[in-house]
Amino acid sequence: MKKRMALFLWGIAMLTAFCLNLFGLMHLIPMLITMPLLFLTIFGFISTWNSRNQFRGFYQKRMWH
């Protein structure tokens, strides 16, 4: 449930950054601000979406002689 809420919030942030980027394309906001903002929101959305429980192997306790 927390992941779904985080994805929803990242999606809203991505749509907002996309709208700001459109304003940047119309030269209302500097592109130097809008392009990194859009990149960071897309990166955050994808990294949140991709984070899942991954199998990291079995824990092996080593016994020394």
Which helix (H) or strand (E) is 34 found in, with range?
helix 31-50
pLDDT in tens, 6-63: 889 999 999 999 999 999 999 999 999 999 999 999 999 999 888 777 777 777 777 6
Asked whether the beta carbons of 53 and 39 are under 8 A apart, the reply is no
Reference 35, options 45, 47, 25, 50; nearest CA is 25
Question: Distance between CA atoms of 13 and 44, rounded to whole angstroms?
Answer: 10
62 located within any domain:
no
Is residue 31 included in any domain, yes or no? Answer: yes
Confidence label for 3 from pLDDT (cuts 50, 70 and 90):
confident
Residue 55 lies in a domain: no
Whether pTM exceeds 0.85: no
Which residues constitute the domain of residue 43? 1-49
CA distance 11 to 46: 10
Query: In the structure encoding, which two tokens stand for residue 41, read together?
Result: 């929101």
Record the tokens describing residue 26, joined without a space.
């119309």
Task: Note whether residue 38 is domain-resident.
Answer: yes
Is the pLDDT reported for residue 65 higher than 80?
no
**Looking at the 3D structure of the chain, how many domains does it have?**
1
